[in-house]
Amino acid sequence: MKVTNGHNISVHYVGTFTDGTEFDNSHVRGETVSFKVGSGQMLPGFSNAVMGMAVGETKNFTLTPDEAYGPRNESAFKSVPRDAFSPDFEFEIGATIQGNGPSGQFLAKIQDVQDTQVVLDMNHPLAGQDLSFEVKVVSLED
């Protein structure tokens, strides 16, 4: 049986940037990733790439930003008051932080630290990146 829309599948995968740097690996976590193909649970490009695969099959593919987390949006930078952070917070440019905003939890990267403001990059950490995957289908159910 081959993977089609609506199938529930489990996969192991390794995700790398085009330079070979690994950004995610289900083997390291020791568990597969399970999802319903075409349901929107996974990146559309990832879901499309596993179509037609069979259990035990391994496939390598690369997603462009448009197929993954989108291009970087230069208007996704936000200045927040420095006092929104705890007094003992140690600011490090380039560090990823997690916060709570009006729309819920978010991840952001510290872009700049000023006297009264902190500039946050609200883009997804993988936005603008080509992402390569090695995927093996472990199980497949209708």
99-to-6, 82, 86 alpha-carbon distances in Å: 35, 13, 12
142 vs 129: CA distance, rounded Å: 33
Task: Tell me the CATH number for domain 8-70+126-141.
Answer: 3.10.50.40
CATH architecture of 77-121: Beta Barrel (2.40)
- Tell me: pLDDT of 100 over 90: no
Nearest to 129 by CA among 53, 39, 66: 66
Question: The pTM is what?
Answer: 0.81
113 vs 79: CA distance, rounded Å: 9
Do 110 and 91 contact (CB within 8 A), yes or no? yes
Beta strands in 18-76 (DSSP E): 22-25, 33-36, 58-63
Instruction: Tell me what the mean pLDDT of segment 60-85 comes to.
Output: 94
Distance of CA 65 to the CA centre of its chain: 11
Asked whether this chain's domains 8-70+126-141 and 77-121 adopt the same fold, the reply is no
Q: Return the H-helix or E-strand segment holding 48.
A: helix 44-49
At 111-120, the pLDDT tens digits run 999 999 999 9
- Domain ranges within the chain, ordered by starting residue: 8-70+126-141, 77-121
At 26-49, the pLDDT tens digits run 999 999 999 999 999 999 999 999
